[in-house]
Amino acid sequence: MNTLVQDTHRQTTSKEYKFRELRVYASTEWLADNKKKYRQVFDRHDTTYIYTELSFYNKRFDDIDWDVNVELKCFSLKKGKKELCALSFERKVSKYDNIVYIREGWGNKTLGAFWKKGTYYWEAWIEGEKVGTKYFYIEDAGREITAYENPYVEVTSIKLYEGPYDDIPLPERIYYKTFSSEESRYIYVELMLENLSLVKHWQCELFIKFYNDARELKGQIIKLQKIEKETIYIQFTAGWGSNVRGSWRKDRYTAEVVFMDSYLQ
């Protein structure tokens, strides 16, 4: 009798979901594989709404439909913690969806009207349980980024070198443009930037992408670093590959750096 009661209790209290991820984005453009342009750093002049994407695994997949209660909250950490919004709603989870995506946003349709420089975060709750937190940052260099002007950084140099997983100290690096497909392990990008926004500290987010000649994405590294004010030069290194030689085939590869949704030239 006691065993039966315990089993029944376990069935009624088991979760029908498993948290997967909480992400942030600003562009509503749909990308391949049901993705968005996920970022953590945004420029004030180019921002209207900031969205969050909650995803979780459906444990009742291919079984039954069910209803879920979700609450998404956004907080500002400017001059203390302040709640900006609390979005609560019920959603029906289809038995045909293995992964469930819930997307909501907050802001103003006018560029630069709502979000100001500072630190913020989204918080996700499912059935009264907090499942995830994701921070994001709004930056302001005084003027907007254009195709001709970047008020945050200027590229000083981009170099490539080969090395192991643990990287190579700066004095020991040997820079190449052509690498051996049989001997190469990780191909590293060494990026030197000049900081043009010296009067305030700010968050720098870089996406270093490696493509083969067919423009297929071989790998991506995301770097997020706080830049202290009056820092003149910023250096980043990021590598992709394997400690097992031979993961790079004979091909023409490209390493590209994306900053604030634009390529660094």
Q: What is the pLDDT of residues 151-167, one digit of tens each?
A: 999 999 999 999 999 99
Fold equal for 2-139 and 153-263: yes
pTM exceeding 0.85: yes
CATH class of 153-263: mainly beta
Half-sphere exposure (Cβ direction) of 141: Cα atoms closer than 13 Å: 22
Cα–Cα dist 205/139, whole Å? 11
- Residue 25 CA to residue 257 CA, distance in Å, equals 18
Strand pairing of 129-139 and 41-43? parallel
Domain locations in the chain as residue ranges: 2-139, 153-263
Which residues in the chain land under pLDDT 50? 1-13
Which CATH number is correct for 2-139, 3.50.50.60, 2.60.40.10, 1.10.10.10, 3.40.50.300? 2.60.40.10
The SS3 of residue 11 is helix
**pLDDT of 14:** 72
Give pLDDT, residue 20.
97
**What pLDDT does residue 147 have?**
80
Q: Where are the beta strands (DSSP E) in the chain?
A: 17-25, 41-43, 49-58, 66-76, 82-93, 99-107, 118-126, 129-139, 153-163, 186-195, 202-211, 217-227, 233-241, 254-259, 262-263
